[in-house]
Amino acid sequence: QYVGRCASGETAMSVGPDPVVRLLGLVNGQSYTCTVEAENAIGTSPPSDPVTLVPAGPPGAPVLDAVDALDAAARLTFSPPLDDGGAPVLDYQADCSPGGGSATGAASPIEVSGLVDNQVFRCRVRARNSVGFGAFSVALPVIPGTSGPTADLAVTKTNGVGFVNDADLVDYDIVVANLGPDAVVDARVQDPLTADFSAAVWQCVPADGAECPTDGIDGIDVLVALPVGSSVRFTFSALPSQGPDSPISNVVSVTPPAGIDDPDLANNVASDGPDIRGIFRDGFE
């Protein structure tokens, strides 16, 4: 067998007769001076001539700071990874999905072309060194196209009844739409769980290219992406709290992100109720 030794104290043996020794626990980017010795039943050979090595691995993930919409393209602005893996970063690869559009560049920013206007894409970036590619950054959404600072967001809400049963979930239908003229990323939809309710679950279904989280529990507080003319529909099912049978109401709102002006704030909030509640049998109180 063979024994590898480094001046810093690391030691490892080969597995079987193969002349390969794997030294673990080294730090990427740090220089080591190492030798190897052969062992048999009679004894140990003198050490080999020393070699200097610098271990390296793939780089860490860059930090994606922003994704800006362009005409049929997106511009990714990012910061280098904190860990280069022990070898200098050679370049970066950016991609946006769906569709697989990608581009390579030596530094930030990188533009990815070939995208479709007024459609939600999620873009990310990764670094490459002499070892290979590292992990991708967290992906951020973008809607390519002629961007602008104005979007009329609107929300509606109803449960379709004027009376609710204290013992059953109350189902609210919530629709959030973008009436334009510009697309919106990270519009905030909020429907907090007030004292009138003790529990809730919700699901969201996007339409016409929009994007939203699929489901959740308790109140709604999520970010959605809305191309012009698109919408998301929430089904919000909440259980009335036990207590006095006072009427209940529920309110939902949509807030545009910073930099987007909404010309009609009156349709950014919707409510349902007050609905009379109690225990009903066969439709009678």
Q: Which residues contact 132 (CB under 8 A, 6 or more apart)?
A: 58
Segment holding 141, helix H or strand E = strand 140-142
Measured from the Cβ of residue 249, the count of other Cβ atoms closer than 10 Å reads 11
What per-residue confidence (pLDDT) applies to 244?
64
pTM over cut 0.85 = no
Per-residue pLDDT tens digits of the chain, which is 285 residues long: 888 888 877 777 666 677 888 887 788 888 888 889 888 889 889 989 888 888 889 999 999 999 999 999 999 999 999 999 999 999 999 999 998 789 999 999 999 999 999 999 999 999 999 999 999 999 999 999 966 799 999 999 999 888 887 778 899 999 999 999 999 999 999 999 888 888 899 999 999 999 999 999 999 999 999 999 999 999 999 998 876 677 888 999 999 999 999 999 999 999 998 888 776 544 444
Measured from the Cβ of residue 96, the count of other Cβ atoms closer than 10 Å reads 26
Query: What distance lies between CA 185 and its chain's CA centroid?
Result: 13
Torsion of the alpha carbons at 67, 69, 74 and 78, rounded to the nearest 10: -20
What per-residue confidence (pLDDT) applies to 103?
97
What per-residue confidence (pLDDT) applies to 285?
46
| Residue 8 region by backbone torsions, left for phi larger than 0, else alpha for psi between -120 and 50, else beta | alpha
What per-residue confidence (pLDDT) applies to 113?
95
CA nearest neighbour of 63 among 134, 6, 3: 134
